[in-house]
């Protein structure tokens, strides 16, 4: 069972995914107690990663604040600023990066317009080729190029420009793209890395 589903097993608010839980938990052979033990282990090993996953899939307020705090701490180890404006920009970038990471194709208004959040699109060329070979109409799909298979619409980087220019009206776009956008991308990437670490830790635990 994948970690994002495991989270919902112990969450009374996740009735929507009850069917997935039931089937995946049966097929994995894990009891609810096993899953809770594994989650406890992951929390001790990869607290930030687990909090990020809870924030993303279950939108738990307390986990969102934990994740926000962890991301802020990370930003300060790499890009601590001695001036108030710099810190204010960083606080907003951290919040935006967390929002960016926490989006799922199920969230209203976040679907990629090309694949409607399905992560893949019809592969007409492959369908035609197959038809030429065996005269059979088969629907084939390929990962959506526009969203790189995430199912999410792109978040405009101009959001970062707006945040920076509110604090530093004289900062020009080119400078912002050169200095702040890489930091923003790094913050988002940190969230994904923490998620991967948490997933790995969970997999190790349930395979034992």
Instruction: State which residue, 120 or 197, has the beta carbon closest to Zn ion.
Output: 120
Rounded to the nearest whole angstrom, what is the least distance from the CB of residue 100 to Zn ion in the complex?
16
The Cα–Cα gap between 18 and 196 comes to: 24
The Cα–Cα gap between 21 and 75 comes to: 35
Return the H-helix or E-strand segment holding 158: helix 158-167
Exactly one of 147, 160, 164, 205 binds Zn ion (CB under 5 A); which one?
Answer: 147
Q: Alpha carbon of 57 to those of 53, 104, 110, 115, 207: distances in Å?
A: 6, 8, 14, 21, 23
The Cα–Cα gap between 87 and 85 comes to: 5
Angle, helices 84-102 vs 47-57, to 10°: value is 60
Check residue 171 and report its DSSP letter. Answer: -
State the binding string over 127-146 for Zn ion (x if CB under 5 A, else -): -----------------x-x
Rounded to the nearest whole angstrom, what is the least distance from the CB of residue 147 to Zn ion in the complex?
3
State the binding string over 94-113 for Zn ion (x if CB under 5 A, else -): ------------------x-
Instruction: State which residue, 112 or 206, has the beta carbon closest to Zn ion.
Output: 112
Q: Where would I find the beta strands (DSSP E) of 112-166?
A: 120-122, 141-143
Instruction: State which residue, 113 or 182, has the beta carbon closest to Zn ion.
Output: 113
Task: With CB under 5 A as the rule, give the number of residues binding Zn ion.
Answer: 6
Instruction: State which residue, 102 or 112, has the beta carbon closest to Zn ion.
Output: 112
Rounded to the nearest whole angstrom, what is the least distance from the CB of residue 144 to Zn ion in the complex?
3
Chain contacts with Zn ion (rule: CB under 5 A): 112, 114-115, 144, 146-147
């Amino acid at each position: 069972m994948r970690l994002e589903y495991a989270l919902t097993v112990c969450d009374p608010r996740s009735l929507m995914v009850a069917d997935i839980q039931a089937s995946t938990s049966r097929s994995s052979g894990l009891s609810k107690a096993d899953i809770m033990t594994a989650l406890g282990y992951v929390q001790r090993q990869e607290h930030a990663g687990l909090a990020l996953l809870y924030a993303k899939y279950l939108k738990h307020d307390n986990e969102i604040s934990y994740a926000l705090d962890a991301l802020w701490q990370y930003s300060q180890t790499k890009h601590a600023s001695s001036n108030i404006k710099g810190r204010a920009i960083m606080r907003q970038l951290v919040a935006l990066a967390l929002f960016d990471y926490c989006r799922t194709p199920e969230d209203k208004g976040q679907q990629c317009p090309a694949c409607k959040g399905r992560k893949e699109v019809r592969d007409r060329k492959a369908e035609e080729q197959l038809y030429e070979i065996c005269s059979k109409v088969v629907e084939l799909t390929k990962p959506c190029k526009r969203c790189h298979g995430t199912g999410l619409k792109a978040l405009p980087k101009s959001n970062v420009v707006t945040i920076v220019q509110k604090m530093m009206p004289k900062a020009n776009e080119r400078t912002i793209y050169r200095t702040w956008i890489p930091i923003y991308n790094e913050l988002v990437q940190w969230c994904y890395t923490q998620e991967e670490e948490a997933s790995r830790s969970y997999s190790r635990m349930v395979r034992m």
